[in-house]
Chain A
Amino acid sequence: MSATTLPDAPVATASAPHVTPASAMPDVLPQVAPRGRVLTFIRRHPTIFAGGLLLSLVVFVAVAAPLLGTADPTALAPAKRTREPSALYWFGTDMLGRDIYSRVLYGARVSLIVGFAVALLASVIGMVIGLVSGFVRWADSVIMRVMDGLMSIPPILLAIALMALTRGSVGNVVTAITIAEIPRVSRLVRGVVLSLREQPYVEAAVASGTRVPMIIWRHIVPNTLAPITVQATYICASAMITEAILSFIGAGTPPIIPSWGNIMAEGRALWQVKPYIVFFPAVFLSLTVLAVNLLGDGLRDALDPRMAKRL
């Protein structure tokens, strides 16, 4: 609509003639070197940098697992059961003789896939539900009561109940954890939508006759992206932990797939005599979750300074 572009028009034409002398001015400020910019970023957002670096390392390990001196993570070698960590078996072998170093490295794939997939799916679905809830009055009370109900079931138990009725697979684990995480995202988005609706620029858009889909797309969605991104990192972290817990108690990915939870579940019976079987996947899981959490904290501080003070 022309109504929305009107305020910009006079400013643009008025400033146009003044542009030419400005470009003739000498360059007083020195060009900022790209390296300086990187250093400034690290100094300003050390947690984003640390978390991002650590997470990139884990992603690299997961993607390049076949190139990092690993063996087949599912290859059985009954003759070489429960070897202590050594130069040959860096992290030792488990009770079926499988190389734990290889299993842990390949296990990174499962955790990352589950974490990222759940974060993405829960954010998108939660966003749609939150938008509908924030804009459609009659649907709001129904949706929010359902979400209240779902939120009253502790997420891990909800995922367990879902997994008990399906066969273990990575896809089912992702679905179960996503369903458990959706209520929190929808509540967040709904809250943001309700407060944005009262903003003067949204009221102005309504007054100038902008259609609702356009308002949602142009004014609401962009403003929900920052809190959702932060929330998505926390969902990613909690999804990784939930996947490990589900696999650990036997309700997650099938035992054939080397996931950190599965490796720990297998090492559980022997942990008092062979603690290294549990130790290595535990360290990798904790570091990965730590990386994602650091990234989330850093993003939160960078994207919303007001929220940073509050939490």
Chain B
Amino acid sequence: MLGYLARRMLATIPVMAIVALFVFSLLYIAPGDPAAIIAGDQATPADVERIRAGLGLDRPFLIRFGEWVWHVLNGDLGVSIFTNLPVTRMIQQRLEPTMSLMVLTLILSIAIAVPMGVLAAWNQGTWIDRVIMVLAVFGFSVPVFVVGYILAYVFALELDWFPVQGYTPLARGFGPWLNNLVLPSVALGGVYIALIARITRATMLEVLGQDYVRTAKAKGVGSRTILFLHALKNAAVPIVTVIGIGVALLIGGAVVTESVFAIPGLGRLVVDAILRRDYPVIQGVVLLFSFVYVLVNLGVDLLYTVFDPRIRY
């Protein structure tokens, strides 16, 4: 097990290396002169040269890449072109709202989607199943910002149950923090809930057809025990896998959700950076999010052994 852990963690290194190489080499493979594009249309030739030197585009690729990787490994993601602040510090300032939003959405989505999928599988072919599956298709189809605006309009503007926009740090109390995050989390969770509900239903259907479920039923085990103790545990591996893969949707969606609800998180940071063409910031955030994504999926891999003791490494 420990050996596997070490091997699995080592295997993430080449993946991260490729991510880093890709994010870095974009500056070089982009069509046109990236320094000129970043500088904008009103820039003087001196500005363009300053940016070119700042990004190191005037030096050979491999040397620049080596330096950059070395700095990243030492926790230095470079300096923002626009604010001249270290990118790491800018990210630290924006970390809490994004982490809060994503963790809350994750918990909320799993809490809603898994029972939905189980319910649909248990009632396969009935109207309950159909309603849940139709909801899932809608969840896939209505983009996150559309859901966000609808929720904000109904529950914030019309009903006044939640604040329309903004973020309250956790340090100022759990209540206000949660109050501000409910609508964004539900909006962000839409696609994710649809995804998890679908895979839960599908794997549950497969598991419910197994012999041991029939045996349990024949023994007179209650349906709730069968569903949640026997079946769901055996269906857990694919569900957990999809939950891990779906984190990519959460990350992409967070960028938009933060714009809709004016949450000062990493997503807003990226959006502002795009408008200013502040590439070091974009680079840093993309790298960080990819790292988180890889870590989450590493965690998922390790969870397999918990849900299925037959899997040994």
Residues of A within 8 A of B (CB): 145-146, 148-150, 152-158, 160-167, 237, 241, 244-245, 248-251, 264, 268, 271-272, 275, 278-279, 282, 285-286, 289-290, 293-294, 297, 309-311
Contact status A165-B294, CB under 8 Å: no
Q: How far, in angstroms, from A310 to B141 measured CA to CA in the complex?
A: 20
Candidate in B275, B290, B294 with the most chain A CB atoms within 10 angstroms: B290
Contact status B270-A157, CB under 8 Å: yes
Contact status B290-A154, CB under 8 Å: yes
Secondary structure call for the B interface: helix
**B131–chain A nearest beta-carbon distance, Å:** 15
Candidate in B21, B34, B255 with the most chain A CB atoms within 10 angstroms: B255
Residues of B within 8 A of A (CB): 14-19, 21-23, 26-27, 30-32, 34, 37-38, 137-138, 140-146, 149, 153, 157, 164, 198-199, 202, 205-206, 248-249, 251-253, 255-256, 259-260, 270-271, 273-275, 277, 279, 282-283, 285-286, 289-290, 293-294
Q: Which residues of B contact A150 (CB under 8 A)?
A: 18, 22
Known: A152-B15, A293-B140. A157 touches B286 (CB 8 A): yes
Contact status B271-A272, CB under 8 Å: no
**A308–chain B nearest beta-carbon distance, Å:** 10
Known: A164-B274, A166-B31, A286-B146. A310 touches B252 (CB 8 A): no
Q: How far, in angstroms, from A157 to B41 measured CA to CA in the complex?
A: 24
> Which one of A160, A241, A251, A310 lies within 8 Å of B206 (CB-CB)?
A310
Contact status B199-A157, CB under 8 Å: no
Known: A148-B18, A245-B256, A310-B202. A264 touches B251 (CB 8 A): no
Q: How far, in angstroms, from A154 to B246 measured CA to CA in the complex?
A: 10
Q: How far, in angstroms, from A153 to B145 measured CA to CA in the complex?
A: 21
Contact status B142-A286, CB under 8 Å: yes
Known: A149-B22, A164-B274. A311 touches B137 (CB 8 A): no
Contact status B143-A160, CB under 8 Å: no
Q: Which 10 A-B pairs have the closest CB atoms?
A: A149-B18, A156-B252, A165-B30, A290-B141, A154-B248, A154-B251, A282-B146, A289-B141, A286-B142, A251-B274
Contact status B15-A245, CB under 8 Å: no
Question: What are 19 A-B contacts with C-beta separation under 8 Å?
Answer: A145-B18, A152-B19, A152-B294, A153-B22, A155-B252, A157-B251, A157-B289, A164-B279, A165-B37, A244-B143, A244-B145, A245-B145, A245-B255, A249-B256, A251-B271, A271-B153, A275-B153, A294-B137, A309-B206
**A3–chain B nearest beta-carbon distance, Å:** 41
Known: A157-B270, A161-B26, A162-B26. A152 touches B290 (CB 8 A): yes
Known: A161-B26, A161-B282, A250-B271. A311 touches B37 (CB 8 A): no
Q: How far, in angstroms, from A165 to B293 measured CA to CA in the complex?
A: 23
Q: How far, in angstroms, from A160 to B143 measured CA to CA in the complex?
A: 17
> Which one of A146, A289, A297 lies within 8 Å of B18 (CB-CB)?
A146
**A22–chain B nearest beta-carbon distance, Å:** 42
Q: How far, in angstroms, from A289 to B270 measured CA to CA in the complex?
A: 26
**B158–chain A nearest beta-carbon distance, Å:** 10
Q: How far, in angstroms, from A167 to B39 measured CA to CA in the complex?
A: 12
Q: How far, in angstroms, from A148 to B285 measured CA to CA in the complex?
A: 19
> Which one of A165, A275, A285 lies within 8 Å of B279 (CB-CB)?
A165
Contact status B286-A158, CB under 8 Å: yes
The closest CB in chain A to the CB of B260 belongs to A268
> Which one of B30, B153, B285 lies within 8 Å of A166 (CB-CB)?
B30
Q: How far, in angstroms, from A279 to B26 measured CA to CA in the complex?
A: 36
Q: How far, in angstroms, from A310 to B202 measured CA to CA in the complex?
A: 5
Contact status B256-A248, CB under 8 Å: yes
Q: How far, in angstroms, from A296 to B37 measured CA to CA in the complex?
A: 38
Contact status B198-A311, CB under 8 Å: yes
Q: Which residues of A contact B256 (CB under 8 A)?
A: 245, 248-249
Contact status A293-B22, CB under 8 Å: no
The closest CB in chain B to the CB of A271 belongs to B149
Q: Which residues of B contact A157 (CB under 8 A)?
A: 251-252, 255, 270, 285-286, 289-290
> Which one of A154, A156, A165, A244 lies within 8 Å of B26 (CB-CB)?
A165
Known: A149-B19, A282-B149. A165 touches B34 (CB 8 A): yes
18 further interface pairs, Cβ-Cβ under 8 Å (given A245-B144, A285-B143, A290-B137): A145-B18, A153-B286, A154-B249, A154-B290, A155-B248, A156-B255, A160-B282, A161-B26, A165-B38, A244-B143, A248-B256, A264-B145, A275-B149, A282-B143, A282-B145, A290-B138, A309-B202, A311-B198
Contact status A245-B293, CB under 8 Å: no
> Which one of B19, B157, B205, B253 lies within 8 Å of A309 (CB-CB)?
B205
Contact status A154-B22, CB under 8 Å: no
Q: How far, in angstroms, from A82 to B286 measured CA to CA in the complex?
A: 37
> Which one of B23, B143, B149 lies within 8 Å of A241 (CB-CB)?
B143
Q: Which residues of A contact B259 (CB under 8 A)?
A: 248-249, 268
Contact status A249-B146, CB under 8 Å: no
Candidate in B22, B27, B37, B198 with the most chain A CB atoms within 10 angstroms: B22
Q: Which residues of A contact B149 (CB under 8 A)?
A: 271, 275, 278-279, 282
